[in-house]
């Protein structure tokens, strides 16, 4: 139908489908949903307005929507073993901001991992509303990429934060929830864990759960959990012990605090993804993600590349490009890999020598490759293509002068467009990608 009524949009969707099929998506915060999840997203549920919560709506006609949301709540509670779950957040950032609204007053001190050190915008980064409305005191990582727990203790003792975050977007180690719980308990802070990146790994048992340690757990639903783009906030038994009304406060923070009507098609898709995450096949999937990531990390090192932390404990790898290309090579590397149909993102590294806009690292991961059915042996091939592309451009070095960098990147792209060696790698990647369908097999 869309092909006939709006061919322009239809053609763009087809091009994106072809791009995904012909390449390797390696951004660790991305994944492929199942057909069942997409069926919910394209359903008539999107037609209904449902402000409020099940059995307490502001509009009529929500009897079936209520059942869908209750189902999603119950599945979240069962999967993560929590007593309270809110499945209405539009995405991870609103979910995190709702936590501030629920437990803090404007101006309260908060702590989270510094963004260039691998943290998230909503954990108190200076450009985020979470730092504009709250007094943010970020902690950092050490040169090996591990969180500096000693520094976190020092900051907590000095500023007595109301809220402490654990979680990250570029962290290759397992989160040390118990250490942060000890810090938070010592100063009476709420301890919130953002497991957006590792929620699927937690569900599969291939990453420790924060539930015994945290008061609040937030997550997106579209990364390793392999659902739609959405978010959830869960309150633990420990959280209710600290504040029996914490679940009610979280719900009020979402609605009417910062959101209006929930996206019902999204809620149904979350329910489906949660049910799929409870299967034995998903458990194997979550374990394979980590197995693949470790295999990929070892293969990249054998190819001569330098990794932050010298490897990974989860789904994510961070390449330090400084030994190969000097500071600031992330944007160049990202583009070169894009030319051979491998997608990953430029990223800062610990003690970043350049800038967040022209960083010195590459962030990559294995969730989507694993979804497509790739195994450890395949990671060696992927590592070879990544290294070959990077070595092809190793003689390009980002200028030290900030003003010269945009022009240099533009000229770099023009110079390597059509590079014969990169085009050869591209054809090899396409042929390889076609052996693995873009579809979860649950």
CATH of domain 288-433: 3.90.1150.10
- Token readout for 352 is 């970043």
Average pLDDT over residues 415-440: 94
DSSP notation for 132-191: HSSEE--B-B-TTS-B-HHHHHHHHHHH--SEEEE--SS--S---HHHHHHHHHHHT-EE
* Catalytic residue status for 220: yes
pLDDT digits (tens, 9 = 90+) for 139-172: 999 999 999 999 999 999 999 999 999 999 999 9
* Catalytic residue status for 100: no
pLDDT digits (tens, 9 = 90+) for 363-376: 999 999 999 999 99
Q: What are residue 61's DSSP bridge partners?
A: none
What confidence tier does 284 reach under pLDDT thresholds 50, 70, 90?
A: very high
The CATH architecture assigned to 38-276 reads 3-Layer(aba) Sandwich (3.40)
Return d(Cα 81, Cα 267) in angstroms, integer: 19
Is-contact 214 22, C-beta < 8 A? no
141: left (phi over 0), alpha (psi -120 to 50) or beta: beta
Return d(Cα 157, Cα 51) in angstroms, integer: 41
Q: Across the beta sheet with 84-86, what order do the strands follow?
A: 84-86, 231-235, 216-220, 190-194, 163-166, 109-111, 135-136
Average pLDDT over residues 84-109: 98
- So what's the pLDDT on residue 162? 98
Which is the catalytic residue, given 30, 38, 39, 49?
A: 49
Which is the catalytic residue, given 25, 194, 251, 298?
A: 194
- So what's the pLDDT on residue 440? 67
Q: Give me the percent of the chain exceeding a pLDDT of 70.
A: 99
- Token readout for 399 is 């200028």
What confidence tier does 306 reach under pLDDT thresholds 50, 70, 90?
A: very high
| Residues carrying CATH 3.90.1150.10, the chain | 288-433
* Catalytic residue status for 229: yes
Return d(Cα 223, Cα 203) in angstroms, integer: 12
Is the confidence at residue 442, as pLDDT, over 60? no
What confidence tier does 288 reach under pLDDT thresholds 50, 70, 90?
A: very high
E strand spans, 294-418: 306-307, 316-320, 342-343, 345-347, 361-365
Q: What are residue 163's DSSP bridge partners?
A: 110, 190
Q: What are residue 345's DSSP bridge partners?
A: 363
Average pLDDT over residues 261-266: 98
Residues 6+ apart with CB under 8 A from 96: 120, 122, 123, 130, 165, 192, 194, 218
| Residues carrying CATH 3.40.640.10, the chain | 38-276
- So what's the pLDDT on residue 439? 77
Return d(Cα 202, Cα 193) in angstroms, integer: 12
Return d(Cα 56, Cα 58) in angstroms, integer: 7
Which residue pairs from 114-118 have beta carbons closer than 8 angstroms and sit at least 24 positions apart in sequence?
114/138, 114/139, 114/140, 114/141, 115/348, 115/356, 116/348, 116/352, 116/356, 116/359, 117/141, 117/348, 117/350, 118/145, 118/168, 118/169, 118/170, 118/171, 118/318, 118/348, 118/350
Return d(Cα 311, Cα 375) in angstroms, integer: 18
pLDDT digits (tens, 9 = 90+) for 366-406: 999 999 999 999 999 999 999 999 999 999 999 999 999 99
Rounded to the nearest integer, the mean pLDDT of the chain is: 97
Which is the catalytic residue, given 48, 75, 162, 223?
A: 223
Return d(Cα 181, Cα 148) in angstroms, integer: 15
Q: State the residue for tokens 């390696």.
A: 26
Return d(Cα 203, Cα 283) in angstroms, integer: 7
Q: Helix 420-433 vs helix 376-392: angle between axes, to the nearest 10 degrees?
A: 160
Is-contact 200 289, C-beta < 8 A? yes
Q: State the residue for tokens 């054809």.
A: 427
Which is the catalytic residue, given 220, 224, 343, 370?
A: 220
Question: Closest by alpha carbon to 336, among 349, 351, 321, 323?
Answer: 321
Which is the catalytic residue, given 142, 229, 301, 413?
A: 229
Is-contact 113 141, C-beta < 8 A? yes
* Catalytic residue status for 306: no
pLDDT digits (tens, 9 = 90+) for 192-251: 999 999 999 999 999 999 999 999 999 999 999 999 999 999 999 999 999 999 999 999
pLDDT digits (tens, 9 = 90+) for 11-51: 999 999 999 999 999 999 999 999 999 999 999 999 999 99
Handedness of CA 309, 141, 202, 29 (dihedral sign): negative
Average pLDDT over residues 127-134: 96
């Amino acid at each position: 139908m869309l092909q006939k009524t709006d061919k322009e949009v239809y053609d763009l969707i087809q091009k994106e489908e072809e791009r995904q099929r012909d390449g390797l998506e390696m951004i660790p915060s991305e994944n492929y949903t199942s057909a069942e999840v997409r069926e919910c997203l394209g359903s008539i549920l999107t037609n209904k307005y449902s402000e409020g919560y099940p059995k307490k709506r502001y509009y009529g006609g929500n009897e079936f929507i209520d059942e869908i949301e209750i189902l999603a709540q119950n599945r979240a509670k069962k999967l993560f073993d929590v007593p309270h779950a809110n499945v209405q957040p539009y995405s991870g950032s609103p979910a995190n901001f709702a936590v501030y609204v629920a437990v803090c007053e404007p101006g309260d001190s908060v702590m989270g991992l510094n963004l260039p050190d691998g943290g998230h915008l909503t954990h108190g980064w200076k450009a985020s509303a979470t730092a504009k409305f709250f007094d943010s005191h970020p902690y950092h990582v050490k040169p090996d990429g591990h969180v500096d727990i000693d520094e976190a203790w020092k900051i907590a003792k000095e500023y007595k934060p109301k809220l402490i975050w654990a979680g990250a977007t570029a962290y290759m180690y397992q989160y040390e929830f118990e250490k942060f719980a000890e810090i938070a308990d010592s100063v009476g802070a709420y301890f919130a864990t953002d497991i957006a990146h590792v929620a699927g790994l937690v569900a599969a048992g291939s990453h420790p759960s924060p539930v015994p340690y945290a008061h609040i757990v937030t997550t997106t639903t579209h990364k390793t959990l392999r659902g739609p783009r959405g978010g959830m906030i869960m309150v633990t038994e420990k959280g209710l012990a600290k504040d029996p009304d914490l679940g009610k406060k979280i719900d009020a923070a979402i609605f009417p605090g910062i959101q209006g009507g929930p996206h019902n098609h999204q809620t149904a898709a979350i329910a489906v993804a949660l049910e799929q995450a409870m299967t034995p096949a998903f458990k194997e999937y979550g374990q394979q993600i980590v197995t693949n990531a470790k295999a990929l990390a070892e293969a990249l090192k054998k190819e001569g590349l330098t990794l932050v932390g010298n490897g990974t404990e989860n789904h994510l790898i961070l390449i330090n490009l400084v030994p190969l290309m000097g500071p600031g090579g992330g944007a160049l590397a990202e583009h070169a890999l894009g030319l051979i149909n491998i997608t990953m993102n430029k990223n800062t590294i610990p003690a970043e020598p350049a800038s967040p806009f022209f960083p010195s690292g590459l962030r990559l991961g294995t969730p989507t490759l694993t979804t497509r059915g790739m195994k450890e042996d395949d990671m060696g091939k992927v590592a070879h293509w990544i290294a070959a592309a990077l070595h092809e451009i190793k003689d390009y070095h980002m200028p030290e002068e900030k003003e010269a960098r945009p022009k240099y990147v533009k000229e770099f792209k023009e110079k390597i467009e059509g590079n014969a060696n990169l085009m050869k790698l591209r054809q090899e990647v396409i042929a390889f990608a076609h052996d693995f369908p873009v579809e979860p097999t649950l």
